[in-house]
Every structure is written in C-alpha cells, then in structure tokens.
Structure 1
Amino acid sequence: MKNLFSTGNHFKSLLIIAIIMLTASQSNGQIKPSNNGYAPVNGIKVYYEVYGEGKPIVLLHGAFMTIGTNWGQLIPELSKTRKVIAIEMQGHGQTPFSERKFDHEILAKDVEGVMDYLKIDSADVLGYSFGGAVAYKFAIQYPKRLKKLVIISATYKSTGWMPQINNAFKSMKPELFANSPMQIAYDAVAPDKTKWTKFLAQMIALAGKPFDFGDANISKISAPVLIIAGDNDGLDKIEFVKTYQLLGGAVCADFGTMPKSQLAIIPSQGHVSLMMQAKPILGYLDSFLK
C-alpha cells in the first residue's frame, strides 16, 4: 500500500482531514472566555484566552492550529475546576505574524512572558504536537514555573518521529496548503491575512530543521510528567518508551515505588484522531493533575 506521506497530494489530503476533524470538535460545548487579550512579550503581542477559576493550566496548541480547533472539546470540561490559559503562538490564530526569531526556545520564552503578564507564578502546562515540543522546552528552561507537564503526541527531538513523518516535514511546500481548510481557518481570525504565505514559510522552515533538546535535559525535569500518545500516531514508540524511562518510568513498581510520571497509549488512534478522544484524555488528565 502506498504510504500516506509519499506524495504531496496525499499530504494535502491529510491536512484537510485534520482540520475538518479538529474544526468540528470546537463546536462541542463551546464557551466564551472570561478574559482574553494580548500580552506584550519579547517584541510581539501574544493572544491568550482565560477560562474558569482554580489552579492554572496553560494550553499550547499544535502546528497551524488555533485555540478553538485544538482545544474546543477540552476547555469546557477543564474550566469547570481549573483556570485555563490558552495561548496562540507566534503567527497562529489571532497572534500576529512576526519576522522575529522563530524556534522552540523563543516560543517557550513567550509562554513565560504570558504567565508574567497574567501574574501566574507557576502552572501546569499541556502541549499537543508542536505545542508539546514547546512545552518540553518550557520545562527545561523554566523548571520553577512548572507544576506538572502533560505532553500529547509530541517529542523533544526529530528522531522521536517515525521516518515517514520526518520525510513529510521535508516535503512540505506552501502550495500544498493553498485554499485548504487550514488557510480558511487562518483567514477567519488572523489580524493580517496577507501574511499567510510568510507564516507557512516560517513554519515549514522550522519543521524541516532537525532538533534535539537533549536526553540529559529531559532526565532533569523534576516535575511529574504525563505523556499521552496514540498507538499509531507517528511517534517512534521505541524512542517514546525511552523518553518515559528518562522521566523515571518503565519500572517494576511492585518491587519499589510507583514513578511520579505516567504513560498512556490510546489504542487505534493516529496523530489527528487522538485529539478527538476527549473522554479518555480528560480521564487521564483528571487523575494525573489531581
């Protein structure tokens, strides 16, 4: 069978399926934020939304996504007991495009800046996909600002993805996104629609650049970590288990102590469909965060 990522047309089909599925999810139980606006951080203005009351949790979306398309199903439930701070990263959603440096390190610094702006000393942080990589970087750079970390279908190094995924990143071109539902979603909320092509170029350049935050740095994360993946989500599961080992997991707890970090693999799920599994994800989050 021909691989889904073997041609540009197949890759574009995946993008369309992804955004349709995730856009559909944002209408389920949608609520309005209690506070929203722009935080002036590191030379740009980062858009944020706040929901609910309680202990703070920061949400970091996936690539090309918005708060609504990524977190539409989770925010209504999380905000019943938590103060949810959802951020749209540089160039995404309502955060304007910028020619400023664009990498995981500066994006993690933006997260810290938004927390400073909202006067939040420390918080739990949840990141999906691209946002998960930024969340790993945040944990490394700002350990004192982190309570607990949740990573959904993400890795801290390029080799954490299967070869098909890395090949897809290398083959991405702006024309694959032309008139796609992703562009439609961008046009609906972006402050300047004319920046679409520049935004794509910026994202594609970062996606094609190998990265590795270092095994040693991951092993130094002192906060409890919950990592969630789909069994067929494109992550290299050998590397995935190694990550869990670096975080103190994959031990025989019957002969010792249960590790503070947790691992959950949801069956029969890919990278996109995983985020549609709101009920099991919320179940894992509820148990872990409490």
Structure 2
Amino acid sequence: MQFVRANGLNFCLERRGSGDPVLFLGGTGWDLRDRPNPLDGPLAKHFEVILFDQRGMGQSDKPDIEYSMADYAEDALGILDALGLGSAHVVGFSFGGMVAQELAIRHPERVRRLVLAGATSGGAGGSSYPIQEFLDLDPETRARRGLEVMDLAFTPEWQAANPAEAARLIRERMILAARRADDVALETGKRRQLAARAQHDCFDRLHRIQNPTLVIAGERDGQAPREFVARLAAAIPDARMIVVPGAHHTMLGGSPDAYEAIIAFLRDTG
C-alpha cells in the first residue's frame, strides 16, 4: 500500500499487475484492508489494477464535510493525476459505478474504456436500493435485509426452507459489518458516502458518455435491479450490456463470467 495526495486529500492506494492501467472504483464501504478484493482477481493478470480507499473510507482521509458524487469523481481524477496517468480504463462496481459515470461525463478524455457493474443512473433511469435505510436497524435485521436486497433468491420462503444456511449467511454478514464498527470516523464517513449515493443522478447526462462502455447486471441483483441497469445501458451511446449469474455482491466473484467479459472488453482495440 502507498499514500498519495489527490484533490487536497491523502488516499490509501494499492497497485498490482502490469499492462494498461485499470482504475477500479469500489462499492460502498470498500476498504483495502478487506480481502480478497479486485487486486487478487483475474484483472491483475492482464492489467495494472489500481484500487484506493475512497474519501471517508479505509485509511484515506475523512474530511469533516458533506460529500457529493462530484467530489468522488474529482478524487478519482486526482488519483490519475497523482500517478501521472493521462488516461486509464475505468471499472466501477456498485457505488463505484456511479462515480465512474460522473468521471466519464466530466472528464471523458481521461477514460479509455468504461465498465459499469451493478450500478444505476439514478433519476428517471431508476436508483439503486436505498440501503441507507438499513443503517440504524439492529445487526441481525440489517444483515437479513441486506441479503434480501442483494440477492433476489434470498426470500423469506427460501430462508424458511433452508434455516441453517440462511442463519450462516446472516451470521457471516453480521461479522463483516462488525469489523471496525467502533471507528467513529469510519462510520461517519460511510454515512456521508451513503448520503452522496442517495443524490446520484446522471440519467439526463448519460448521452455525453462517448467512451466504449460495457454495462453488467447480475441476474439475481435486487440492489441494482436489472431493468434499471438496462435503462442505464440504453442511455449511453453504443453501450453493450450483459447479464451474468449471481447476486449484487457475487456477480464479480461468484462466477468467472463477469471478469471474462471485462477482460475481453478492455483488451478489445477495435
């Protein structure tokens, strides 16, 4: 890991692999200390993958102000500047896909190819599920509701038919949520990130994205519903959309389909 200065803040960053640079923008609450992450996946076998803790997250700065999606896009631009990169491929997952839209709209010349996975446009295109509503639920209810939203197969009926497996999944999610829960600055940063997420709306500006774009939806994803992801893809000129197996949290890890499609797309020079 290293620390770089960008957009007036200090960011914790890690790079892995070699080849064309890929700036990977992660989801809500992502922290470089949590493994595995995209640095450990197949992208780093073909490209130089760059991953960083976004403002308010991980070991990066947590300024005591409200955050906006424009702030996150400018942070990403600042990372490219700090690393001396005129441009890079950009892959955004979930919240990171929202940031990637802002970046491509604001600074198209800095984005080579764009991948938006598990992300929506907001506004008239439809918004991702408002997960900020879960923040103040008790830990078990929060874990259960999170799983029900992320995976459309995790229904009350499935839970009743598979109580042991449902309990295991809920318990694992509770353990993940409890990590660093006593870090007040981190918790505040997460709330500010979710507040910015709630304001995300790029739909009326998506036509300005002229970069080659791949949009990915998970077939069981209830957090970024497939129909909303389709609206996102339809609004970006010449964007390609694919649907892969998996739920919101597993589409980039539950099967090789998404990464195989991303690698092929980023390597396409046509």
Structure 2's unaligned 5+ residue stretches are 144-172
Structure-1 separation of matches of 2:126 and 2:45: 34
* Contact 1:70 1:275 (8 Å CA) reproduced: no
* Contact 2:25 2:97 (8 Å CA) reproduced: yes
* Residue in 2 that maps onto 1:275: 252
TM-score by length of 2: 0.76
* Contact 2:217 2:226 (8 Å CA) reproduced: no
Structure-1 separation of matches of 2:8 and 2:193: 19
Structure-1 separation of matches of 2:212 and 2:40: 22
Matched, 1:90 2:55: yes
Q: Does the residue aligned with 1:229 lie in a helix, a strand or coil? A: strand
Q: Deviations over 1:222-261 (max 9, x none)?
A: 1111111112212343332232222234xxxxxxxxxxx3
Q: Does the residue aligned with 2:2 lie in a helix, a strand or coil? A: strand
TM-aligned CA distance change 1:171 to 1:73, over 3 Å: closer
Give 1:73 shift: 5.4
Give 1:211 shift: 2.9
Matched, 1:221 2:209: yes
Match of 1:152 among 117, 120, 123: 117
* Residue in 2 that maps onto 1:265: 243
How many percent of aligned residue pairs carry the same amino acid? 24
TM-aligned CA distance change 1:53 to 1:284, over 3 Å: same
* Residue in 1 that maps onto 2:187: 197
Matched, 1:246 2:235: yes
Structure 1's unaligned 5+ residue stretches are 1-35, 250-260
TM-aligned CA distance change 1:70 to 1:228, over 3 Å: farther
TM-aligned CA distance change 1:91 to 1:210, over 3 Å: closer
Q: Does the residue aligned with 1:67 lie in a helix, a strand or coil? A: coil
* Contact 2:23 2:49 (8 Å CA) reproduced: yes
TM-aligned CA distance change 1:154 to 1:225, over 3 Å: same
User: In the TM superposition, what are the counterparts of 1:229-244 in structure 2 within 5 Å?
Assistant: 229-234=217-222, 235-244=224-233
Give 1:202 shift: 1.8
Structure-1 separation of matches of 2:79 and 2:6: 7
* Residue in 2 that maps onto 1:15: none
Give 1:184 shift: 4.3
What is the root-mean-square deviation in Å for CA atoms of aligned residues? Answer: 2.7
User: In the TM superposition, what are the counterparts of 1:103-252 in structure 2 within 5 Å?
Assistant: 103-157=68-122, 160-161=126-127, 165-166=129-130, 168-173=131-136, 176=139, 180-186=174-180, 193-207=183-197, 209-215=198-204, 217-234=205-222, 235-249=224-238
Q: Does the residue aligned with 2:252 lie in a helix, a strand or coil? A: helix
Give 1:42 shift: 2.3
* Contact 1:48 1:85 (8 Å CA) reproduced: yes
Give 1:119 shift: 0.3
Structure-1 separation of matches of 2:36 and 2:265: 18
Q: Deviations over 1:48-105 (max 9, x none)?
A: 1111221100011100122364762564422222111111101212213221341111
TM-aligned CA distance change 1:131 to 1:70, over 3 Å: farther
* Residue in 1 that maps onto 2:2: 37
Q: How many residues align?
A: 234
TM-aligned CA distance change 1:64 to 1:273, over 3 Å: same
Structure-2 separation of matches of 1:236 and 1:279: 21
TM-aligned CA distance change 1:70 to 1:89, over 3 Å: farther
Q: Give the AA of the match of 1:244.
A: A
